[in-house]
Structure 1
């Protein structure tokens, strides 16, 4: 399991955006960055800075992935025919922890990673405890029987904080999710603008 080295709300403040759209985000109260120098006037970002920020934001959104993890996923997206940015989003959304989060089985992407790692989820009837496991179209993800009454699951499903996208079919009563299709950028309900095209530019130059 990847060790998360920064608190999730520090990521929000560092980006200056409420990247998960959560009501508790400190950005809702103050938009400047963390630390004693956070309120200094922001200089206009260079092209490199803008591209780097886009990469950091997307990495942070999916649970603060390490650069090694993210670069590997990007490399796979680059090898597939088609728009690399779109392919990158599709691969990220196929991660098992992302599917669990999108289906509202847990409240946050960080909780989703932990939920999967602790063995609460099965894919096509087989227990999977690897958060980065990549689901395929038609795969069925289910909360294991012994875990279906956990408070975290019941509360997350009852929350009105997020909507479930149409590339997932969710039976909230049975805690079952079907991954219908791989989404593109416009299909994913990001609370803030994600710009994978800038990430493609970043890796093209670095």
Structure 2
């Protein structure tokens, strides 16, 4: 098992939910947490614990973003006009690695981060290797010509375990994609319930 898969599965088991909706998730077999005490009775969470858990789940879903970076995204969302929780989701969905994942060019968000890091992706014709690069509506994301026959891309495009959301325009023939609009929380196809409002409460304490 790769280190990336190990981290991914630990997040699933810690949350007790299959947060990416993948058939291989260990939660499909064991709904209790990892470790020797994982099957013990779970104590009732405090309000702080509930908010912390919501933050960990959202951070984990997007590839286990580092706390400093996630806090920075929240701070930016809080300074924007409108609902902070909706702004937070919009900023997360505008990340380059997220759009690569949404377009089904790779099978997981962890793979998307690595794929971008390794220079396989162009934005408006220029190579971008920063997973957190923030896209604007209409920007064209493209898999480099030399990377289009990689096994990970061919496998992901053929997978039918998830669909491309309607706010991403993906062409699997040309391996291009673009963000057509900034999604709201209800637009995003999370396999489990996400509660960005609790994340806002956590950071507003």
TM value normalised by structure 2: 0.97
Report the Cα distance in structure 2 between the residues aligned to 1:23 and 1:5, rounded to whole angstroms. 13
Report the Cα distance in structure 2 between the residues aligned to 1:111 and 1:100, rounded to whole angstroms. 9
Report the Cα distance in structure 1 between the residues aligned to 2:46 and 2:26, rounded to whole angstroms. 26
| C-alpha displacement of 1:179 | 1.0
- Residue number in structure 1 paired with 2:199: 199
| C-alpha displacement of 1:7 | 1.2
| C-alpha displacement of 1:4 | 6.6
Report the Cα distance in structure 1 between the residues aligned to 2:194 and 2:7, rounded to whole angstroms. 21
Instruction: Report if aligned partners of 1:4, 1:64 keep a CA contact under 8 Å in 2.
Output: no
Report the Cα distance in structure 2 between the residues aligned to 1:6 and 1:183, rounded to whole angstroms. 30
Report the Cα distance in structure 2 between the residues aligned to 1:188 and 1:143, rounded to whole angstroms. 23
- Residue number in structure 2 paired with 1:114: 114
Report the Cα distance in structure 2 between the residues aligned to 1:149 and 1:174, rounded to whole angstroms. 12
TM value normalised by structure 1: 0.96
| C-alpha displacement of 1:136 | 0.3
- Residue number in structure 2 paired with 1:16: 16
Q: Tell me, which stretches of 5 or more residues in structure 1 are unaligned? A: none
Equivalent residues in 2 for 1:92-131, closer than 5 Å: 92-131=92-131
Report the Cα distance in structure 1 between the residues aligned to 2:168 and 2:201, rounded to whole angstroms. 30
- Residue number in structure 2 paired with 1:172: 172
Give aligned pairs, total: 203
- Residue number in structure 2 paired with 1:145: 145
- Residue number in structure 2 paired with 1:185: 185
Report the Cα distance in structure 2 between the residues aligned to 1:91 and 1:81, rounded to whole angstroms. 13
Report the Cα distance in structure 1 between the residues aligned to 2:13 and 2:113, rounded to whole angstroms. 22
**Secondary structure of the residue that 2:204 maps to in structure 1?**
helix
| C-alpha displacement of 1:185 | 0.3
Quickly say closer, same or farther: Cα 1:138–1:101, change in 2 above 3 A: same
Deviations 1:52-79 (A, max 9, x none): 0000000000000111010000000000
Report the Cα distance in structure 2 between the residues aligned to 1:4 and 1:146, rounded to whole angstroms. 24
Runs of at least 4 residues of structure 1 off by over 2 A? 3-6
Deviations 1:152-173 (A, max 9, x none): 1011011001110000111101
Report the Cα distance in structure 2 between the residues aligned to 1:173 and 1:5, rounded to whole angstroms. 28
Q: Tell me, which stretches of 5 or more residues in structure 2 are unaligned? A: none
